[in-house]
Amino acid sequence: MRTAQQHWWAHAIAVLIILWMPNALAHVQKGEAAGLLIGFLHPISGLDHVLAMVAVGLWGAQLGAPAIWVLPLAFPLVMAMGGMLGFMGVPVPGIEYGIAASAILLGAAVAFEVRAPIVIAALLVGFFAVFHGHAHGTELPPGQSALLYSMGFVVATGCLHAVGIGIGVVHRWTWGQRLLRAAGAAVAVGGVFFMWKAVG
Amino acid sequence: MKDPRESRLPSCALIVFSFALCSESAEAHLNSSGMGPIYDGLMHFLTSPEDLIPALALALLAGLRGASYGRQALFTLPVAWLLGSLLGLAAAVTSGGAVLSSFWFLLMGGLVAADAKLSSRVMFALAALLGLYHGYFNGTGMGQSLSAILAVFGLALAVFVLIALAAAFVVQLRAHWARIGVRVAGSWIAASGLLLLGWAVRGS
């Protein structure tokens, strides 16, 4: 009997707590935050993109100023041109090959510590940026805000560059230089894997 | 023997049912609860990236140029925004279109990325044009009620706060890498504008 009374009060308290729940505000207006998040996750969720973007940061760190900031500055702009072509439905041939090749060549540039002139480095990075941007642009999910999706993947790409530059800080030490070259080799091997997948 | 819990079940159900009937509406959507016209205007600006990002870019640009430019933008942009909004209240057009929005992204983001050394007059003109353009299209469709005018003041207030915070943050940056970081943010804004342009072209 006593147990039954205890249950009654427990139920009543539970009901009261449920009725006094604050407003949920669970709806995102027009799915906008979702668009930003999807855009942000797009470069991060693909290892091929991650490898190439981090390699850009690593190479910039190896080359030092002004490449360390010119490359992350130029890359989003050229990538946006590729993304614009993707949004407009303009086909670019060999997207997957281009992305895999970017990881191979940028990884190799880091592995061999290639001291390219800034113009050559920017042109190489910019060329591959078109492929990455086009891949992002063509994969805009239906119903999402194009602007927020774009901002999401541009910011994510910039963050990946920053990760590369952050890792590249170790370049000031001899062991760090070896570590960076090893990381570049790992990126290149990853690129070979993605190229093999693209061809197969 | 009847279980006492079973006998209490209908009374429990009745109490729950009574509470459920007396419960207030959830008002989970802000457009039903409302935040007052001033806050509506303020929130409209803060939740509209088409308006927010170019204004932020102007704040970054002014901050890169120094405190005097920051002070100039702090008063020019909100006042122009307010005037544009008041002018727009009577207009029938409701949108400037994505192409023009992308133009502002490209222009302002490009200037920040290039760390453009603009004169004070050019900065003033830029702030005034930006404010008038965006304010005008914010004002359209709001109607001519008192709440619309209050919302317009909320918009201008939000612009003022954004410029004050962002420009002041950039003005005090001394480290070279930090200023480069601001320029990189400008390149992101320009890149977003380029992508918005592509989307607008596709839509048209």
Mind telling me how many Å the CA of A85 is from chain B's nearest CA? 7
Interface probe with B: pick from A28, A71, A150, most Cβ of B within 10 Å: A150
| Partner residue opposite A147 with nearest CB, options B8, B28, B192 | B192
Task: Choose among B172, B170, B156, B173: nearest CA to B76.
Answer: B156
Considering only residues B35 and A187, tell me which one the structure prediction assigns the higher pLDDT. A187
Residue A9 forms part of a structural domain: no
Domain limits at A43?
Answer: 31-199
Please indicate whether, in this complex, the C-beta atoms of A23 and B26 are within 8 angstroms of each other: yes
Interface test with A, best of B14, B48, B195 (most A CBs within 10 A): B195
| A84 neighbourhood in chain B, CB within 8 Å | 194-195, 197-198, 201
ipTM: 0.73
Helices (H), chain A: 2-19, 32-45, 47-63, 67-88, 95-111, 118-138, 146-167, 174-199
What pLDDT, on the 0 to 100 scale, is given for residue B126?
Answer: 95
B34 has a pLDDT exceeding 90: no
**Using CB atoms, which residue from A15, A72, A150 is nearest to B192?**
A150
Averaging pLDDT over each range in A113-127, B16-30, B112-126, B142-156, which range is the top one?
B112-126
| B26 against B40, higher pLDDT | B40
In chain A, the N- to C-terminal Cα span, in Å, equals: 73
Within a domain: A21: no
Task: Profile chain A (200 residues) by mean pLDDT over runs of 10 residues.
Answer: 64 74 55 74 86 90 84 86 86 89 93 89 90 85 78 89 89 89 93 89
Q: Does the residue A74 lie in any domain? A: yes
Residue A194: inside a domain? yes
Contact across the interface for B198 and A83, Cβ inside 8 Å: yes
Residue with tokens 């668009």: A35
Largest interatomic CA distance in chain B: 94
The answer as to whether A166 is a domain residue is yes
The per-residue pLDDT for range B107-124, each reduced to its tens digit, is: 999 999 999 999 999 999
| Among A165, A192, A194, CA closest to A180 | A165
Q: Residue B94: which pLDDT band, with cuts at 50, 70 and 90?
A: low
What single letter denotes the amino acid at residue A197?
K
User: Taking the model in full, what pTM does it have?
Assistant: 0.77
Residue A185 forms part of a structural domain: yes
Predicted local distance difference test score (pLDDT) of residue A109? 93
Q: Which positions in chain B touch A12 (Cβ < 8 Å)? A: 12, 15
Residue identified by tokens 């799915």 is A31
In a domain, A12, yes or no: no
Rounded to the nearest angstrom, the minimum Cα separation between B197 and chain A is 7
Provide the pLDDT for residue B104: 92
Place of tokens 């430019």: B69
| Of the candidates B191, B3, B15, the residue with the CA atom closest to the CA atom of residue B108 | B191
Q: Tell me how far apart the alpha carbons of residues A93 and A129 are, in angstroms, rounded to a whole number.
A: 14
Q: pLDDT category, B67, cuts 50, 70, 90? A: very high
Number of Cα atoms under 13 Å in the Cβ half of residue A64: 4
Residue A36 lies in a domain: yes
pLDDT of residue B110: 93
Q: How many structural domains are present in chain A?
A: 1
